[in-house]
Amino acid sequence: MTLASISIISAALVLFGVFYLILVNLNYNLNILSQQPKMQVYCLSELTDEQVNAVKTEIDSNKYIDSITVVSKKDAFEQLKKYLDNDKTAEGGANILEGYDDSFLNVSFIIKVKNPEDSGVVATELRSLAGVENVVYSQQTIDMITQVANWVRIISMVLIGVLLFISLLIISNTIKLTVFARRKEINIMKYIGATDWFIRWPFIYEGIFIGIIGAVMAFLMVAYLYSFIEPKLSNNLVSFGSGFSIVKFQSVWGTLALFYAGVSIVIGASGSVMSIRKHLKV
Amino acid sequence: MKVVEFIDVSKKYPNGTVALKGINLKINKGDFAFIVGSSGSGKSTLLKLLMKEETATEGEVMVNGYQLSTLEPKQIPYLRREMGVVFQDFRLLPNKTVYENVAFAMEITECLPKEIRRQVPMSLALVGLSRKANAYPHQLSGGEQQRVAIARSLVNNPALLIADEPTGNLDPENSWEIIRFLTEVNQRGTTVIIATHEKTIVDAMKKRVIAIDKGRITRDQQKGLYGDEDTEYKIYS
């Protein structure tokens, strides 16, 4: 019975941990995305300066656009160098660019659209301009991820709520067995003047103990699972591009552990209090 | 000084049974009183009211200054520390030694360990069980177990000792020994109330006898006898 309680609270917390980590990662990537420019227009790399200027004038005349910033080939090269140096030192960092100059890169314009909802229209219009290679904007992705995150949040809350409720009942039942085995002792304690709290504490400790053991097991499982998945996923994300990445476990385990401790203590203690109430009425 | 007082007390259980009707009773400090009556007479209800295990439906019960009708549940443990209780079935904790059983009654009142170490041996000496301090209840005879229960009930120096059929599970020899200890306790100043069926003991002791029948006090007599159906009850008060 004790084993059953430990497993069920452990299962509930593992599930919570999984959903929590998914949410953390979704939010993390949302953040990355929303820090990126609203929209970036890449010109064909073979365009001359005059042609680039012509494109810029065209874009300027678009009534949906708020502001426009030019990213020259030189700027783009510097950014790339910096990015490689910071994030890809393992693969050789900025040295990988040795022998290259900025000629293979495109001039691009970073555009701020007045109204994010118009992004779609603007993007189609700009794509049709002569000399434009590609238009990239992140709003679509942001919207999609936000929606996914919302669903994950709702589903996980319901599931976790149900599981925690079941854990509460099972812990309460386990303690009920101990209380039943010791009901004579409780009765004697009541007659010789023990306060209810004096009688309750040992049972509450037992409930908390069950909760914490369950939480420790859940934490180890989640940690193992994440350390197993993280490297695989982060490789996949790199090939997926556009700056997606996965949160390192080191940066989330503190919050997770704190939550696990809090929930297991509260569930364990309240399960015990529930189960002993009846026997205190003497 | 009154230790116990019942003022027009009636008790009706939720199922409709009237267990006590119009009980008026005073027990003074230092008294030694037997409560006699057949099963179902209301004897146990009277003791339950004293311990606030039940609450009177009418009237007021006073115990050592506590007004029980308005006593909050939180206060009940403190009321019970004013009294020692001895039961027919001893109610010792089976997994604790004699010493631990007696010490336990002090631990629950959050006494200092130093005080516990001083008081418990004194209490055990009083009932003549110092040498059995490390034995477990199942290693003792019934009489010895009841003596442990008496030691436990006395260890907090209560003003009042309530014994519910204390000799019910004992042979005559052990019964007399228990009564002898309870008398000794009384002589040291503790008020003693004993609910019992034992005619021989009540008759031989010639102490105060409170007889209860069908929820009423039918007799309250100093130096009384157990009495039986043929006897004319005279009301003493």
What does the pLDDT look like over B45-59, one tens digit per residue? 999 999 999 999 999
Radius of gyration of chain B (CA): 18
- Our CA dihedral for A113, A114, A115, A118, rounded to 10 degrees, sits at -50
What does the angle CA B232 – CA B235 – CA B237 come to, to the nearest 5 degrees? 160
- What distance separates the 2 farthest-apart alpha carbons in chain B? 56
For the record, the structure tokens of B15 come out as 């199922």
* Residue A185 contacts B where some CB pair is shorter than 8 Å: yes
Q: How many residues does chain B have?
A: 237
**Is B53 inside any structural domain?**
no
When CB atoms are compared, the residue of B53, B91, B108 closest to A193 is B108
For residue B207, the model assigns a pLDDT of 93
In this structure, is residue B120 part of a structural domain? Answer: yes
Chain mean pLDDT for chain B: 91
Is residue B100 assigned to a domain?
A: yes
pTM: 0.69
| Residue B48 CB partners (closer than 8 Å, separation 6+) | B54
Q: Which residue has the higher pLDDT, B28 or A93?
A: B28
Chain A neighbors of B105, CB-CB under 8 A: 192-193
B78 touches A: beta carbon within 8 Å: yes
Structure tokens at A35: 């820090």
pLDDT tier at B209 (50, 70, 90 boundaries)? very high
According to DSSP H, which parts of chain A are helical? 2-35, 49-60, 73-87, 119-127, 139-181, 183-191, 196-240, 253-276
Q: Which residues contact A149 (CB under 8 A, 6 or more apart)?
A: A23, A26, A27, A30
Partners of residue B74 in chain A, C-beta under 8 Å:
195
Q: Which domain holds residue B107?
A: 92-157
How far apart, in whole angstroms, are the C-alpha atoms of residue B84 and residue B151?
Answer: 9
CA distance B214 to B14: 17
Whether residue B187 lies inside any domain: the answer is: no
Q: Closest partner residue to B80 among A185, A192, A198, by Cβ?
A: A192
- Tell me which amino acid residue A244 is: F
Closest C-alpha to B132, from B94, B96, B99, B92: B99
In chain A, where does the domain assigned CATH 3.30.70.3040 lie?
37-138
Residue B84 lies in a domain: no
Per-residue confidence of chain A (282 residues) as pLDDT tens digits? 788 888 888 988 898 888 888 888 888 887 777 666 567 888 887 778 888 888 888 888 887 877 788 888 888 888 777 777 776 666 666 677 777 777 778 888 888 777 766 777 788 888 888 788 888 877 677 777 778 888 888 888 888 888 888 888 888 888 888 888 888 889 999 998 999 999 999 999 999 999 999 999 999 999 999 988 888 887 777 665 556 778 888 888 899 999 999 999 999 999 898 888 877 876
Pairing of strands B208-213, B32-36: parallel
**Prediction ipTM score:** 0.83
B47 belongs to a structural domain: no
Domain-located, residue B210:
no
Q: Chain B contact for A201, CB < 8 A?
A: no
Longest dimension (CA), chain A: 99
CB distance from B122 to chain A under 8 Å? no
Q: Do A282 and B53 touch (CB under 8 A)?
A: yes
CATH class of A37-138: alpha beta
User: Which one is predicted more confidently, A234 or B149?
Assistant: B149
Cβ count within 10 A of residue A171: 32
Q: What is the pLDDT of residue B229?
A: 46
pLDDT value at B232 more than 50: no
pLDDT in tens, B94-137: 999 999 999 999 998 888 999 999 999 999 998 999 999 999 99
Number of domains in chain B: 1
Q: Is the pLDDT of residue B24 over 50?
A: yes
